Structure 1
């Protein structure tokens, strides 16, 4: 299952993307870049146009482009997060930060989970279960940036989950 589109990021840069094995929520797509770039998160309101293939999407980027006004999505209910793969002390600190920001902390993956924040020891099964339930997968840096800016960053260079690492052998 592939999704191909042009997309304007938070800095106003326009690019063409093809994601595989994607999941979606009301506001986001999350999937693996087919060029091997790992897992990425995209806001639906920043998708410019959908295409059948990446070549067409790349050709569809206009030479003179001015980004649309980005409107923050409406909050429907309090978000929830589960932290996995972290040492006990860091996990407790992250839980405290989430609770201070009115984000409900969960101990496991369920259908109502909004985010799964993965540390260095997170397992691929929990990651895939969270994505299947529609939760967005975040690194620690993406979570901290979300707390600071209110926006989910689309990528973290240090986050090394790839499509291949989540496939059972």
Structure 2
């Protein structure tokens, strides 16, 4: 399959769920200026622009994992602190465009990949040593990560100007 528009079954379900959470995350930053997207509104260091950047970076890294394992995942990951921060030379529009391109590539990957293909997880304190994840498991993780951060974004946005993604 080459088109995500013709997907059915499990692949369609995975992409529909991921698309819903991506939508809520993007919807949360509607109408914001770059300065607002950089603003901290809680005791956390998280900002709306930083969350968009982080979710995009992590989705791209996990997509690389699906394609080639931990070594490929870690290439291009960049500085951990920087991936959570919207820098002065970045715009919200630019971060959203980057995220949209990453989402498009991930969707194409889901359409083509063997969902049972698996790779050993990278060595990290939060992963059990020697465990492998299938492409399917990675996609479930990307969905969960996106949903979790969409919730964080909703709290930050409500603290910023009272706007909510839902409700």
Pairwise same-fold verdict (TM > 0.5): no
Comparing both structures, which one devotes a greater share of its residues to helix?
2
TM-score between both structures, scaled by the size of structure 2: 0.27
Comparing both structures, which one devotes a greater share of its residues to strand?
1
